[in-house]
Amino acid sequence: MRLKLPIAHLLKTQRRWEKALAKATATSRKLIIKPRKVRPKKDKLTEVSSFGTNPGNLRMLTFVPPQLPGSAPLVVVLHGCLQTARDYDEGSGWSTLAKRHGFALVYAEQTRANNPNRCFNWFQPHDARRGSGEALSIRQMVTRMRRTHSIDPARVFITGLSAGGAMTSVMLATYPEVFAGGGIIAGLPYGAAAGMRHVMSAMRKPRARTAEQWGDLVRAASSYAGPRPTVSIWHGTEDRTVAASNAAALLSQWTNVHGVSEDVFTQAMLAGHRQRTWSNRKGDTVIELYLIDGMGHGTPVRRTKAQAKAGGARPFMLDVGISSSLHLAKSWGLVRRRTASRRT
C-alpha cells in the first residue's frame, strides 16, 4: 500500500512536465515565427467510424493517395502522448511520403476516455495482449484497410513514438504474422511493464533480464512460429523521458528473437548519426539501431524549407537533420527508385 502514493506523485509530476514542455514549445514558436495570414489547411486524414468491434475504443484515421496501386503497402502509425494523429502526421511527414511513393496509411488515435494524456495503454495487460483491447482494435484497422484497398498482406508495417513506440512493440510481439517490419522510436521492449505502477520505473530503467528472458516474452505472446518482423530502433542518447537503456533492452529482445548475435553487427554513419545493423544467416538485415547523439525525447525529423516556413515540427518532433520516417520507408522498400534521390 505504501507504493501507491509515490507512484501517483511521480505520474502527476510527469504529466505536469509533459504539459509544460508542450506549452513551452508552443510559446517558443509564437516568439520566433512572424504572424502571417495563412489559408486553412486541408485535412489530409479521413476518419473511419466502423472497423470491427473496436474493443480498445480507439479512433481510426487513414490517408489513401489518389490512384493507389493494387497490392500497395500499408504503414500503421501510432502517435505519442499529448499528440493526435494529425499532429504526428504533420510533424513526421508520413502522408507526404505516402502520396509521393504510393502507399496507404492508417493512424490509430488514442482517446482521452482511455488515457487523459492520450498515451496508448501499452502497460495494461488487457490492452497489450493478442485478441483484446487496444491491440485488437489496431489489428482490426489493418483488416479493414486490407479489405477496402487491396493491401498487400506481405507489406504491412508499423511505427510509433514513445507510448506509440511501446505499443508498436506490443503489436510486433502479439501479431507477428501481420507485420513485415516495425519502427520503434523512443519506445520500450515488449513486457517492460505490467500495470500502471511499473510504468515510471520501466521508463527510467528497464528491468534486469537476460536476452533470452526478453525474447521469451515475445515468443509467449502468440503461437506463431514463422519468420519474425524486422525491427528498427530509434532513440536519443539524451532522452530524459524514456531512458536510452530501453533501446539496449529492445536490442537484446529482438536479437534473441531473430537468433542473431548482439555482438556481430555492421556500423556506419548516416547523416552524422550512428547506424548499426544486424543480419541473419541469409544476409538479410533484420534489426537496425539508430542512436541519435544529443537528442532528447521525440521523433527525429529533418525539416524542409516548406516545413520551416509553415512553422516547423510539432511537439516531440526533433529536428536533428535526419528523417526517421523517410529512412524507415526506404528500409521497408517503399520509396520508388526514380524519386529516391530527392532527399537524403
Query: What is the b/e burial string over 245-271, where b = at least 16 CB atoms within 10 angstroms of the residue's CB?
Result: ebbbbbbbbbbbbbebeeeebeeeeee
Best CA proximity match to 181, nearest among 255, 118, 232: 232
Residues 6+ apart with CB under 8 A from 126: 132, 133
Look up residue 205 and give its amino acid: K
**Strand 156-161 to 181-185 pairing:** parallel
**With 0-12 CB in 10 A as exposed, 13-18 as middle and 19+ as buried, what is 196?**
middle
* Catalytic status, residue 341: no
Q: In what helix (H) or strand (E) does residue 159 lie, and over which residues does it extend?
A: strand 156-161
3-state SS assignment for residue 231: strand
SS3 48: strand
C-alpha cell at 58: 480507439
Burial class (CB within 10 angstroms; exposed 0-12, middle 13-18, buried 19+) of 15 = middle
Exposure of 238 in the CB half-sphere (CA atoms within 13 A): 7
Q: Which of 162, 169, 232, 252 is catalytic?
A: 162
Q: Determine whether 135 is exposed, middle or buried from the number of CB atoms within 10 Å of its CB (0-12, 13-18, 19+).
A: buried
Count how many residues are written for the chain. Answer: 344
Kindly list the catalytic residues.
162
